[in-house]
């Protein structure tokens, strides 16, 4: 039965990834570079942000090394338009596909018991007290994280 809970949660993750990818792929270059609402982020920043956050999931879930730790400077540690030199939208889209495929392949290999193991940002001592700080919680949280930005991206002009 636990396999069903895991499979359905992964299915919502993949559906959320597909939906936001389709949204990004529907934008013109002009749309990618325009603030979604006055003074708010550009879609290209959100794309880079999601690439970086999903890339961080590889070591966080103990599934491998990061591909592009250098993206954090522009897309996680600083707000939009702070770092001028960022990859092209085509490059970021390709990276998003790549990291999501890497995650999907790894997710398929994990057993339900492995989903309940600790993630990398919690110590063994803290995990003993807070056993919900496991891989499954990261999966749930990052799925909601996509939805959060999806709600903003639907307000962008295409």
Binding of a copy of itself at residue 136 (CB under 8 A)? Answer: yes
101 or 147: whose CB is closer to a copy of itself? 147
Cα 68 to Cα 63: distance, rounded to the nearest angstrom: 15
Of 17, 36, 53, 61, the residue at the interface with a copy of itself (CB under 8 A) is 36
Taking the complex as a whole, the smallest distance from the CB of residue 131 to a copy of itself amounts, in Å, to 8
**Exposure letters 104-124 (e unless 16+ CB within 10 A, then b):** eeebeebeeeebbebbeebee
Of 42, 72, 112, 117, the residue at the interface with a copy of itself (CB under 8 A) is 112
151 or 158: whose CB is closer to a copy of itself? 151
Binding of a copy of itself at residue 101 (CB under 8 A)? Answer: no
Taking the complex as a whole, the smallest distance from the CB of residue 78 to a copy of itself amounts, in Å, to 18
Cα 142 to Cα 140: distance, rounded to the nearest angstrom: 6
10 or 92: whose CB is closer to a copy of itself? 10
Cα 70 to Cα 79: distance, rounded to the nearest angstrom: 15
For residue 8, report the phi and psi dihedrals to the nearest 5 degrees: -70, -35
Please, are residues 83 and 73 in contact by the beta-carbon 8 Å criterion? yes
Residue whose C-alpha is closest to residue 147's, from 58, 46, 75: 46
Which residues would be at the binding site for a copy of itself (CB under 8 A)? Answer: 1-2, 4-9, 11-12, 16, 36-38, 40, 112-113, 115-116, 131-132, 134, 136-137, 140-141, 143-152, 155
């Amino acid at each position: 039965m636990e396999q069903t809970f895991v499979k359905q949660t992964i299915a919502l993750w993949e559906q959320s990834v597909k939906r936001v990818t389709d949204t990004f792929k529907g934008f013109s270059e002009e749309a990618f570079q325009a603030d979604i609402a006055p003074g708010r982020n550009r879609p290209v920043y959100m794309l880079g942000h999601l690439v970086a956050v999903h890339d961080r999931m590889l070591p966080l879930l103990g599934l491998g090394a990061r591909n592009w730790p250098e993206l954090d400077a522009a897309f996680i540690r600083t707000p939009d338009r702070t770092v001028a030199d960022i990859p092209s939208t085509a490059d970021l889209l390709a990276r998003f596909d790549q990291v999501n495929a890497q995650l999907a392949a790894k997710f398929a290999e994990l057993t339900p018991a492995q989903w309940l193991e600790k993630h990398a940002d919690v110590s063994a001592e803290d995990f003993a007290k807070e056993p919900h700080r496991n891989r499954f919680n990261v999966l749930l949280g990052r799925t909601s994280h996509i939805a959060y930005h999806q709600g903003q991206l639907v307000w962008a002009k295409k």
